[in-house]
Amino acid sequence: MPTTTWVLHVDLDQFIAAVEIARHPELRNRPVVVGGNGDPSERAVVATASYEARVFGIQSGMPLRLAAKRCPDAVFLATDAPAYQEVSERVMARLRQFPAVVEVLGWDEAFLGVTTADPEAFAADIRHAVQEETGLSCSVGIGDNKLRAKLATGFAKPAGIYRLTRENWWAVMAERPTDALWGIGRKTAKKLAEAGLTTVLQLAGADPEDLAARFGPRLGPWYRLLAGGVSDAEVTATPYVVRSRGRETTFQQDLTDPGRIADEVDGLAQRVAADVAEEGRPAARVAVKVRFAPFFTHTHSVTLPEPTSDAAAIGRAAHEVLGMFELGKPVRLLGVRAEFPPPPG
C-alpha cells in the first residue's frame, strides 16, 4: 500500500457535555444541557447538549428556556470554560505527540496533516490516545483535503472513523442538500433553493456566472467549488503556547481535616510556582479545583493584582481561593492551576 499524505479531522464527541459527564459520572446516559449559569429560566443559550438531550431536538444556540420545554427532565449545568480549556489543552498536546502537523480549530477539533499508508489505523491510534489521556471519545474524518476530512467526521460520529475522498465524493454527497457542505448554512441554502439548486450535485453543475451574479463574484464561484469537494489540503501548524500550568493530587483516603487540606493546597501551589518560574512567564490567575466525594468537582479562581512568578503570591492566592469553598464534604482530589496572560495580538 503506497504512502500518501492525508488530512485527518479530529472532533471530540459532545465535548463540553462529555467533560461535565466525566466530572459527574452519575449523569451518564441522562439528558444533559450545558449553558449560561445552568438555570433554564435565565436568558442564555445552550452551549452543548449530550446525545441523550439531542434526541429531544435540543441543539447548540437554542435558548435554555426552549430546551427546558422540550426536555423538562434534562439536567442543566453551568458552563465552566477553564475546565474545558484545560481538557482541550491536554488533548491537543497529546495529538502533537503524533508524527503529524496539527492545526487547532477550537476547543474540540483539529486538522492533522499525516503521511501514512494506512490512515484508518492512524485514526484508530488517535482515538485510543485521546481516550487514554482524557477518557473522552472522538471521531476522526479522513480526507484528501480539509473540506472532505471535515465532512467525513460527520459520518464518523459518534466515536467512529470515516473516509471521504474524490473517489467516493459523488456517491456520498451528490443527492445531499447544499447545507450539508461545510461553509453553507441554512440561509444560504434557502437562497440557493430559490435559484433551483437544492442538492450538492445541482450546485456543482450550476452556471458560475449566474452564481456570481446572485451571491457576488467571490462567494458564488466558491459555493460551486465546495459542491465539487474542492478545498485546501495544506495543514498549517498552530503555534503551541501553554496557557496554564497546574498540579493535582488524588488521595487514596478522602481528606476531612481543613488543616490538612490547606497544607496540601500549599504544597501544590509551591510546585505550580516552580513550574511558572520554569516557564519564564508570570501568572495572571490562580485557580483551585476540589473534587468532593463521591464525585462532585468545583473550581474557583482569582485574578492576581498583577502578573507574578512569586511563589509566596501564588500561594496566598491559592489559599484565598480555597476559602471560597464550603469544605463540608470529604475531599478526594485537590488541584492548583496558574493561568498565564493571553499572548499579545
Rounded CA separation 1/3 (Å): 7
pLDDT for 344 equals 58
Rounded CA separation 2/112 (Å): 19
Rounded CA separation 46/61 (Å): 5
Nearest to 266 by CA among 311, 310, 307, 308: 311
Q: What residue ranges of the chain have pLDDT lower than 50? A: 345
Rounded CA separation 22/80 (Å): 13
Domains in the chain with CATH codes: 1-167 (3.30.70.270), 174-227 (1.10.150.20), 244-339 (3.30.1490.100)
CA 9 to chain centroid, in Å, comes to: 13
Rounded CA separation 89/81 (Å): 12
- Tell how strand 32-34 and strand 75-77 pair up: parallel
Q: What percent of the chain lies above the pLDDT cut of 70?
A: 97
pLDDT for 92 equals 93
The amino acid at 105: L
Which grid cell is 90? 491536554
Rounded CA separation 303/305 (Å): 7
Which grid cell is 326? 464550603
On whether the CB atoms of residues 139 and 119 are closer than 8 A, the answer is no
Rounded CA separation 194/187 (Å): 11
On whether the CB atoms of residues 110 and 146 are closer than 8 A, the answer is no
First-residue to last-residue Cα distance in the chain: 45
pLDDT for 75 equals 95
Q: Per DSSP, which regions of 216-325 are E strands?
A: 244-255, 283-292, 296-308
Nearest to 98 by CA among 119, 71, 74, 67: 119
Burial of 242 (0-12, 13-18, 19+ CB in 10 A): exposed
Residue of 109, 175, 248, 339 marked catalytic:
109
Strands lying side by side in the sheet with 32-34 = 48-49, 32-34, 75-77
Rg (CA), the chain: 23
* Rounded (5°) CA angle 201-202-206: 120
82 strand-pairing partners:
none
- Catalytic, 278? Answer no
DSSP label of 182: T
